[in-house]
Amino acid sequence: MKRSEINQYIVKSKEFLDQMNFKLPPWAFWSPEEWKGKYETCSEVIDNMLGWDLTDFGSGDFHKCGLMLFTVRNGNFKKDKKPYAEKAMIVEEMQETPMHFHWSKMEDIINRGGGNLVIELYNSDEKENFSDQPFTIKIDGVIRNLQPGDSVVLTPGESICLEQGIYHRFYGEPGKGKVFVGEVSAVNDDSADNRFYVPVGRFPEIIEDEEPIHLLAADYKRFI
């Protein structure tokens, strides 16, 4: 992806999150220059990969298959005691996050505003394939019985609890607008805890056609 494209997506994301009345921490708006010399005081932000994150999952088409995220908080089993994480995510209409599950992380996915979020679900079997057995999930604490491949639609205010091993893919329902999605979970480790049904890329290769307006979490080691 071109850095100029990423910059544009970040600008639009800031505008959308402001419309949703979701406030980001001050360092979300720092320039690359403002990050210099900050490692000692900001090591939790840098080491735990907080902040801006964008992926096209290797698709080359962000609007069709991609996700914009901002990790607000996250623990690190090697460095601190924090056992939880929180993300803000922006999902466009028909913009897919591919089918995957987590071995370690349990998470709540929350529709915090905007359009509707469609989530397609399967349980996994012992070989990490799709299970052909019925299973249950909870929507805001209420049990729902599902068949393999069933979809649920989260309207603003609704949330789903996804246990380990539950395959899920999601996208914004067409005609309903962009979705502001929250994630509250156990510690997040994108380097080792994502099991995609079909292998995909997680962090994009960036063509540096202009300077970044804000650093992505994946930029920290290179720029700071």
Find the CATH number of the domain harbouring 57: 2.60.120.10
What's the rounded Cα separation, in Å, for the pair 40 and 21? 31
Exposed/middle/buried for 160, CB within 10 Å: 0-12, 13-18, 19+? buried
| pLDDT of 97 strictly over 90 | yes
Residues 6+ apart with CB under 8 A from 30: 214, 215
Residues 6+ apart with CB under 8 A from 194: 100, 102, 202
Strands 195-196 and 84-91: unpaired
pLDDT number for residue 191: 87
pLDDT tens-digit map of 151-178: 999 999 999 999 999 999 999 999 999 9
Q: Give the CA distances from residue 123 to residues 4, 24, 73, 97, 161, in Å, rounded to whole numbers and listed in that order.
A: 39, 34, 28, 17, 13
pLDDT tens-digit map of 146-155: 999 999 999 9
Asked if 89 and 41 count as a contact pair (C-beta separation under 8 A), the reply is no
pLDDT number for residue 86: 98
| pLDDT of 90 strictly over 90 | yes
Among residues 145, 14, 133, 135, the alpha carbon closest in space to that of 68 is found at 14
What's the rounded Cα separation, in Å, for the pair 7 and 16? 14
Residues 6+ apart with CB under 8 A from 24: 14, 17, 70, 72, 88
Range of the domain at 214: 3-223
Q: How confident is the model at residue 204 (pLDDT cuts 50, 70, 90)?
A: confident
